[in-house]
Amino acid sequence: MLSVEEEELESLPAAPSQDVPGDVDNSAPEQRVEALVRAPWMDHRRTLGGAAIGFCAAGLWLRSLPDIDPGNFDDIGLVPALPFVAYLALILLTIGFSAAITDRVLNRALLLIYLSLLMFMVYGVTAVIEGTTRFNAAWRHTGIIDYIMRNGSVDPNFDAYFNWPVFFILGALFTEVTGLSNLLGFAAWVSVLLNAMYLLPLVVIVRSSTSDPRLPWLAAWIFLLTNWVGQDYFSPQGFNFFLELCLVAILLRWFRIAKHGSHLLLRIVPLRHVWARVPRFIRTWLAPADVPSATINRWQRNALLVSVVAIFVVINGSHQLTPFAAFFAVSVLVAFNRCSVRWLPIIMLLLIALWLQFMATAYLASQGQALVADVGDVANSLDQTATKRLSGSPGHLFIVRINLAFTLVVWGAAFLGGIRRAIAGYRDVTLALLAVAPFLLVPLQSYGGEMLLRVYFFALPFMAFFVAALLLPTEDAGRSRWMPIIMCAISLGLLGGLLLTRYGNEKMNYYTHEEIAAANYLYTVAPTGSWVVTANWNVPLRHQGYDTYRYAVLRDMLSETAPSSGIDPLAEVFGDDVLRRTIAPAIANLIAERLATRADGTQLYLYISRSQTVANRLLGLSSVPPDVLAKALAATGRFRVTYSNQDGTVLELANQAFRGGLWCGWSPWACPPS
Amino acid sequence: MVTVGLPAVIVVSACLVGLLFYADIDTPLRPFVGLWFLLVCPGLALVRLLHLDDLVSEVMLAVAFSLTLDALVASTMLYAGVWSPGGALAVLISVSIGGATLQALRAASRPSVWPRLQKSARR
């Protein structure tokens, strides 16, 4: 039985399209759209001219690559190391795209060339100039895949990854089928592949909400210019983000509700009464009908629904956070009457509960209380993400502030884009809801201080649409001769911001061949079961022997109790006697002794590398740089340097010299700290 | 031509990846063939059966379906205690060839969808 308000809303005529504002001439939109896209593949002169710009940009970029030396990265990352020619290539590419997107005739071939070039130039640059896989987590993920290949099983009690292992199982299948020894080489290029994949659902999503053929291209361009958070690496998050976008794209393309109707929220009586008091024109403005879905028959509908559930099953088993992001996105769509599959959130919630109950039991048993304790603590979540990152070297602090500013600029531009669209008469309620839905994740937990970064990532496709809409709010907009210049200036501003934010920590995030050689040497000499100790977490390790070695960072090995939250492992244990740029022999001896005690007769190797030293300085982790520590420990005679090159050192603890808590012929107290 | 061409591409890819894997042929081509097959082919074999007539949507679904199928098959085998990359690949090859065969059979009794796909790509 429908209420009066519901009947009133149901009786309203279906809106023809969100893209047809009431106060804009809409006499012949189809003809105008046709005019925009007529003869796109046949305008040879434009195509050749635009392609020439693209190839010039690519040529200049390729020419600049040999001049980029990762050794020239400094505390603000890649930007100072890029030669002028590289910037020239990017400027040329941006000019080409800006001209093409504002051209009277939309040339898809050109736009595709520009997008592809941007993807390779910005997202593939590190793979080319560094030649190795960045981010320590990518190395760890490769190690988990190696574990699955060796054991053919997962051990949920080992760590959290094995409670959501589907991505790694898939990785194991890929490794076996491709015949590679591991996926590290593939992982170096995965950002390019993933960003290309993200653009597919992004285009479907934008096309589901607008008939302007330029907006999907511009939104894709903006997405590539603003994807700074770096979650598109070889990770469950990067993989699941694609699947989540596909899930949303399927719902938006084939399961929209194309008529005015009541929100599910209006079934709540108090809300219904409040809603009934709102003037009718506001109600219809706030609850517009959606663009009609693409027509499908029952067989297609059922097949797509099965695929949506199957996709969610994979997401649910691959990642801790993405299932909740997908659940919130779909729930918001259903609650606000934007999706006809109203049972889907219930199924999703059920699947999440089942997975937590039966497949992630080990994780919940150990971390469940901590997880629940964080729920609702928004202040902590924001504090962990923003405030606690504000430490380290001046260059790093500058990058952190740029990150925050860039995020606010993108969100602000998206907000203004939404306002501009609304003023023009468009009501992009669906995409606005999807842009806001990820913020519901913030109260859940801080996610290791990364929650706001993940929120930015999940919201980015929809924010990109609104930023694009700020530039091209209507189908008639963008025809002025100034628009290419404005478009170019904004794109270059975003590009500059992207290079600073995405690659601001590149000096720390990349690994040289030398430090990787040292890591590989370690695995060839260290017996199974050995301790592998590092100064901090920023290491290219664990890509093999994930379960057969005992890994620890120095702080954990030195601490008497469980790992604490202190940020200086040495000062925490030995107080302020640790000197700023050097380390006293007595302290080094104490460290050696403590490590020997902790190792308890097991072989112990200390791996010190360039990237640890850089991370230590950039993030302000410890008052003693790892390379200085390594030299001091080697000088004690308790450690033997088994391998050393310019970027990596492997030290082996001489266990045999330590017996029953006494070092032969030496007392650490004989020489007081100086 | 395209309606028959795509099933042929899927079948050839499936046969090639099967040959390279089961005969354990070590060639620089194998990573590319393996990647192409696992990333696109199983999904492409199924999504074309839906006749959605939209190029971008079909490409998106082909990749999404492929990754989903790969993950589901491999994970099911692992959790069932019968982890076997060869077995998982056999299932995926079967799905791909089965889907491609159905596509080819349907293509024989339907007009080509290529003009409609071209039209949708221009949208």
pLDDT digits (tens, 9 = 90+) for A254-277: 998 866 555 666 667 777 788 778
Confidence check: pLDDT of A25 > 50: no
Cα separation, A314 vs A165, in Å, equals 10
Q: What is the pLDDT of residues A404-416, one digit of tens each?
A: 999 999 999 999 9
Which residues from B are below 8 Å from A296, CB to CB? 52
By residue count, chain B amounts to 123
Which residues from A are below 8 Å from B64, CB to CB? 201, 242-243, 246, 307, 311
Eight-state DSSP code of residue A295: P
**Contact yes or no for B78 and A154 at CB 8 A:** yes
Eight-state DSSP code of residue A641: E
Q: What is the pLDDT of residues A118-176, one digit of tens each?
A: 999 999 999 999 999 999 999 999 999 999 999 999 999 999 999 999 999 999 999 99
Confidence check: pLDDT of A45 > 60: yes
| Closest C-alpha among B29, B64, B67, B54 to residue B120 | B54
Identify which has the larger pLDDT, B70 or A31. B70
| Closest C-alpha among A479, A161, A99, A123 to residue A320 | A161
**Contact yes or no for A207 and B38 at CB 8 A:** no
Element (H, E) at A663: strand A662-663
Is the four-CA dihedral B32, B35, B40, B42 of positive or negative sign?
Answer: positive
Kindly give the pairing relationship between strand A550-553 and strand A531-534: parallel
Tokens found for residue A480: 């002025």
Q: What is the pLDDT of residues B6-53, one digit of tens each?
A: 999 999 999 999 999 999 999 999 999 999 999 999 999 999 999 888
Burial of A535: CB neighbours in 10 Å, binned 0-12, 13-18, 19+: buried
> Which of these ranges, A279-293, A321-335, A496-510, A530-544, has the smallest mean pLDDT?
A279-293
Confidence check: pLDDT of A204 > 80: yes
Q: What is the mean pLDDT of residues A94-109?
A: 91
pLDDT value of residue A574: 62
Cα separation, A477 vs A455, in Å, equals 31
Mean pLDDT of chain A: 84
pLDDT value of residue A544: 92
pLDDT value of residue A379: 72
For residue A589, the one-letter residue type is N
Cα A224 to chain center, whole Å? 13
Q: What is the mean pLDDT of residues A18-28?
A: 40
Burial of A307: CB neighbours in 10 Å, binned 0-12, 13-18, 19+: buried
Tokens found for residue A382: 């924001």
Which residues from A are below 8 Å from B72, CB to CB? 310, 313-314
Element (H, E) at A552: strand A550-553
Q: What is the pLDDT of residues A419-457, one digit of tens each?
A: 999 999 888 889 999 999 999 998 887 777 788 899 999
pLDDT value of residue A24: 36
Cα separation, A428 vs A440, in Å, equals 20
Question: DSSP secondary structure string, A559-574?
Answer: -SSS--S-S-HHHHHH
Name the residue with tokens 């669906």.
A430
Return the SS3 of A604: strand
Longest Cα pair distance anywhere in chain B, in angstroms? 48
pLDDT value of residue B66: 98
Mutate to test the interface with A, among B30, B57, B66, B77 (most CBs of A within 10 A): B57
For residue A77, the one-letter residue type is G
A427 Cβ neighbours under 8 A, 6+ residues apart:
A18, A285, A288, A421
Cα separation, A33 vs A20, in Å, equals 12
pLDDT value of residue A629: 85
- CA closest to A201 among chain B residues: B60
pLDDT value of residue A9: 39
Confidence check: pLDDT of B68 > 70: yes
pTM over 0.90: no
pLDDT value of residue B83: 96
Which A-chain residues 299-318 have CB contacts (< 8 A) with chain B? 300, 303-304, 307, 310-311, 313-314, 317-318
Q: What is the mean pLDDT of residues B46-71?
A: 94
Residues A263 and A347: beta-carbon distance below 8 Å: no
Cα A504 to chain center, whole Å? 15
Which A-chain residues 120-159 have CB contacts (< 8 A) with chain B? 148, 152-154
**Contact yes or no for B122 and A37 at CB 8 A:** yes
**Quick check: A242 contacting B, CB < 8 Å?**
yes
Helix axis angle, A610-619 relative to A626-635, nearest 10°?
130
Band (B115; pLDDT cuts 50, 70, 90): low
Distance between A372 CA and the closest CA of chain B, angstroms: 28
Kindly give the pairing relationship between strand A658-659 and strand A662-663: antiparallel
Residues above pLDDT 90, as percent of chain A: 59
Band (A217; pLDDT cuts 50, 70, 90): very high
Tokens found for residue A299: 């067989």
Phi, psi at A391, each rounded to 5°: -150, 160
- CA closest to A153 among chain B residues: B78
Distances (CA, A) of A650 to A348, A366, A534, A535: 48, 34, 10, 12
Residues A517 and A537: beta-carbon distance below 8 Å: no
Count CA atoms closer than 13 A to A31's CA, side-chain side: 4
Confidence check: pLDDT of A65 > 90: yes
Q: How many CB atoms lie within 10 A of CB A479?
A: 10
**Quick check: A207 contacting B, CB < 8 Å?**
yes
Distance between B28 CA and the closest CA of chain A, angstroms: 10
Which residues from B are below 8 Å from A220, CB to CB? none
Alpha helical stretches, state H, A164-297: 166-178, 184-207, 214-226, 236-254, 269-277, 280-286
First vs last C-alpha separation in chain A:
85
Which residues from B are below 8 Å from A173, CB to CB? 38, 70, 74, 85, 88-89
Phi, psi at A469, each rounded to 5°: -70, -25
Q: How many CB atoms lie within 10 A of CB A379?
A: 9
Return the SS3 of B61: helix
Residues A54 and A494: beta-carbon distance below 8 Å: no
Element (H, E) at A366: helix A361-374
Dihedral angle over CA of A270, A273, A274, A276, nearest 10: 160
Alpha helical stretches, state H, A296-343: 298-318, 322-335
Cα A597 to chain center, whole Å? 40
Which residues from A are below 8 Å from B20, CB to CB? 179
Question: DSSP secondary structure string, A207-223?
Answer: HTT---THHHHHHHHHH
Instruction: Give A607's strand partners.
Output: A534, A650
Return the SS3 of A231: coil
Distance between B46 CA and the closest CA of chain A, angstroms: 10
Cα separation, A380 vs A239, in Å, equals 28
A75-106 CB burial, b ≥16 within 10 A, e <16: bbbbbebbbebbbbbbbbbbbbbbbbbbbeeb
Tokens found for residue A351: 């699947």
**Contact yes or no for B71 and A169 at CB 8 A:** yes
| Closest C-alpha among A115, A296, A325, A292 to residue A220 | A115
Cα separation, A472 vs A466, in Å, equals 9
Residues B33 and B20: beta-carbon distance below 8 Å: yes
Return the SS3 of A533: strand
Cα separation, A461 vs A203, in Å, equals 9
ipTM of the complex: 0.91
Band (A290; pLDDT cuts 50, 70, 90): low
**Contact yes or no for B72 and A313 at CB 8 A:** yes
**Contact yes or no for B78 and A152 at CB 8 A:** yes
Band (A239; pLDDT cuts 50, 70, 90): very high
**Quick check: A271 contacting B, CB < 8 Å?**
no
Distance between A263 CA and the closest CA of chain B, angstroms: 28
A541 Cβ neighbours under 8 A, 6+ residues apart:
A136, A139, A140, A519, A522, A532, A534, A551, A607
Which residues from A are below 8 Å from B26, CB to CB? 179
Mean pLDDT of chain B: 90
Question: DSSP secondary structure string, A114-149?
Answer: HHHHHIIIIISHHHHHH-S--SHHHHHHHHHHHHHH
B51 Cβ neighbours under 8 A, 6+ residues apart:
A300, B113
> Which of these ranges, A176-185, A317-326, A356-365, has the smallest mean pLDDT?
A356-365
pLDDT value of residue B38: 98
Q: How many CB atoms lie within 10 A of CB A605?
A: 23
Which residues from A are below 8 Å from B95, CB to CB? none
Which residues from B are below 8 Å from A176, CB to CB? 21, 85-86, 89
Cα separation, A386 vs A375, in Å, equals 18
Helix axis angle, A236-254 relative to A298-318, nearest 10°?
160
Band (A341; pLDDT cuts 50, 70, 90): very high
